[in-house]
Amino acid sequence: QWRPAYAEGHDGMVHLFEWSWKSIAEECENFLGPHKFASVQVSPPNENRRVAGQWWERYQPISYNLDTRSGGRADFIDMVDRCNAVGVRIIVDAIINHMCGEDALSGTGTGGCQYNTDTLEFPCVPFSSGDFNDYRCGSQNGLINNYGDPNEVRNCRLVGLTDLDHSKSSTADKIAAYMNDLIDIGVAGFRVDAAKHMWPEETEILYGKLHDLPTGKGFPANTRPWIGQEVIDQGGEPIKKEEYVGMGAVTEFNYCFSLGNLRGSLAQLKTVADKPSNWGFLSNKDAFVFTNNHDNQRGHGGGGGGIVTFKSPHDLPYVTGMMMALPFGTKRIMSSYLFEDGDQGPPAAQPSTADPTAESCNNDWVCEHRWAGIRNIGMLGGAMRSEPDSYSNWWDNGSSQVSFSRGTGWFAVNSDAWAMEGGIQTGLAAGKYCDLAQSDLDSCDTFINVDASGMACVNIQAGQNVPMSYTIADARVGDF
Ligand code: AAO
């Protein structure tokens, strides 16, 4: 439940926010699989309330039927099969804390199911008033008003979203049935939305009802689904991320900000690899990490300074590279669309996925995962995955030039205002390697030469487009 069942040699979860199932299937085959990314976090696949022009309608469930603007059930199943076939797992954003907002009143969801938030009827699940938490909520207006009160945070309505009662086994069984349907289709895990708003002991029972991943879909026997719980804990509130580590991985929001805030002093990140608790972080195994997410890139939940998004195009690639190279956490990369305001829904036209050499997906899709420097970090992470998860050959200049190796990969970065030049130990066998930070393996034009003692001559100029160098044993293209 803590480590996703990734294919050998692959790493990195890409959040293809609001992509259609058809486009994701194509992206798996054309780009993500060949570049050895490990998984895709997909937008919630279950039927939702319609709210014109917004992205966040996806966070307001109406039923557990697979029917949204991303596609229907047949497309979803096709996507899971095609992605799994090329070594890319599907992680579902599971909205199981609540159903739609009380302001929805009554109407029809994206899949044609009815709902009524006055009577709390969701007949397609079916849920009715007995499945909801209001009887446990002590706040006057039924909403979460005070994050200082764990009872309110768990039992009342988050921004008016009708709150499910996980203490009732018949309610939890219906949620588990939804998740098991997805597991049986071949989904490898879940990002659990708003986990902080559910009682840890109740979600633990719920996760216990989940099936193992199906051996018939190529997973090893007895593999549990990965669980990545969204718990925003930046200190200052009584609910702690540690309450959730017993059942799965947990979002580490403070690492997200630290990555941004340490852009000019990356050498300090060594202690994250050595002892994450020194930073107040969760352990390597427990942490679910990212440089930015779909909320904080647009001013929703878990805000604060220092978040690096596609709006910092120079910084995002090397910060993402550093995150991927460090032995810390299950790593997620945000893949966005352009927006003017924080509520705006996705572009009308889907991303173009056909040309694997393209670094953009056009039609207002930012496609960070295809950017230079980022596009090969799945390969880097996959080569670096090793047991025990540690690093070797660490070198830094005390400021923001760092180099180290892990598994069969080597990584170097320079975000100082002066050049990084000289001989560095890579831990690699002698040979000529493709510099995957600068170039793709099948059209390589930038190389790293490693001598018989493992030393390479590194040259990363200050402010160069992608101020990184990295390669892996499998990117050896010839003799030195
Ligand atoms: C929409 C409308 C609402 C309407 C509602 C119902 O915007 O006006 O009432 O529908 O019709 C998304 C959108 C919401 C949207 C919702 C449903 O972001 O705008 O509401 O869909 O369509 C809390 C939760 C966290 C949650 C976050 C947004 O703890 O779980 O709020 N994130 C997830 C998803 C998110 C989604 C939902 C949950 C709902 O990722 O996309 O909402 O499914 C503090 C608390 C946090 C709290 C934040 C924000 O954070 O600690 O727990 O997050 O406040 O309220 C510093 C502090 C940090 C603080 C932060 C505040 O960084 O250190 O602790 O500032 O920014």
Tell me which residue has its CA closest to atom 54 in ligand 1.
Answer: 301
* Burial annotation 152-171 (CB, 10 A radius, 16+ → b, else e): bbbbbbbebbbbbbbeeeeb
Q: Is the CB of 147 under 6 A from ligand 1?
A: yes
Q: Is the CB of 54 under 6 A from ligand 1?
A: no
Contact, 65 vs 115, CB < 8 A? no
Q: Is the CB of 301 under 6 A from ligand 1?
A: yes
pTM of the model as a whole: 0.98
Which conformational region is residue 112 in: left (phi greater than 0), alpha (psi within -120 to 50 degrees), or beta? left
Q: Is the CB of 300 under 6 A from ligand 1?
A: yes
Find the 299 Cα to ligand 1 centroid distance in Å: 10
Q: What is the pLDDT of residue 62?
A: 98
Question: What is the distance between the alpha carbons of residues 232 and 237, in angstroms, rounded to a whole number?
Answer: 10
ipTM metric? 0.98
Q: What is the pLDDT of residue 306?
A: 82
Atom of ligand 1 nearest to the CA of 51: 22
CA-CA-CA-CA torsion sign (372, 378, 419, 451): negative
**What would the DSSP string read from start to end of 179-208?**
HHHHHHHT--EEEETTGGGS-HHHHHHHHH
- How many CB atoms within 10 Å of residue 340? 6
Q: What is the pLDDT of residue 299?
A: 84
Question: What is the distance between the alpha carbons of residues 324 and 36, in angstroms, rounded to a whole number?
Answer: 13
Q: What is the pLDDT of residue 304?
A: 62
Q: Hey, is 132 helix, strand or coil? A: strand
400 secondary structure, DSSP code? S
Tell me which residue has its CA closest to atom 12 in ligand 1.
Answer: 56
Atom of ligand 1 nearest to the CA of 299: 66
Tell me which residue has its CA closest to atom 11 in ligand 1.
Answer: 101
Contact, 378 vs 400, CB < 8 A? no
Q: Is the CB of 95 under 6 A from ligand 1?
A: yes
Q: Tell me which H or E stretch contains 151.
A: helix 150-155
Name the residues annotated as catalytic.
193, 230
Q: Is the CB of 302 under 6 A from ligand 1?
A: yes
Taken as a whole, the chain contains a residue count of 480
* pLDDT tens by residue, the chain, 480 residues: 999 999 999 999 999 999 999 999 999 999 999 999 999 999 999 999 999 999 999 999 999 999 999 999 999 999 999 999 999 999 999 999 999 999 999 999 999 999 999 999 999 999 999 999 999 999 999 999 999 999 999 999 999 999 999 999 999 999 999 999 999 999 999 999 999 999 999 999 999 999 999 999 999 999 999 999 999 999 999 999 999 999 999 999 999 999 999 999 999 999 999 999 999 999 999 999 999 999 999 988 765 678 999 999 999 999 999 999 999 999 999 999 999 999 999 999 999 999 999 999 999 999 999 999 999 999 999 999 988 889 999 999 999 999 999 999 999 999 999 999 999 999 999 999 999 999 999 999 999 999 999 999 999 999 899 999 999 999 999 999
Q: Could you tell me which residues come within 8 angstroms of residue 54 by beta carbon, excluding any fewer than 6 positions away? A: 343, 344, 345
Q: What is the pLDDT of residue 302?
A: 62
Question: What is the distance between the alpha carbons of residues 152 and 154, in angstroms, rounded to a whole number?
Answer: 5
What's the one-letter identity of residue 4? P
Start-end of H helices in 262-399: 270-274, 315-325, 377-384
Indicate the pairing of strand 431-434 with strand 476-478.
antiparallel
Find the 397 Cα to ligand 1 centroid distance in Å: 40
Find the 301 Cα to ligand 1 centroid distance in Å: 4
Question: What is the distance between the alpha carbons of residues 290 and 127, in angstroms, rounded to a whole number?
Answer: 34
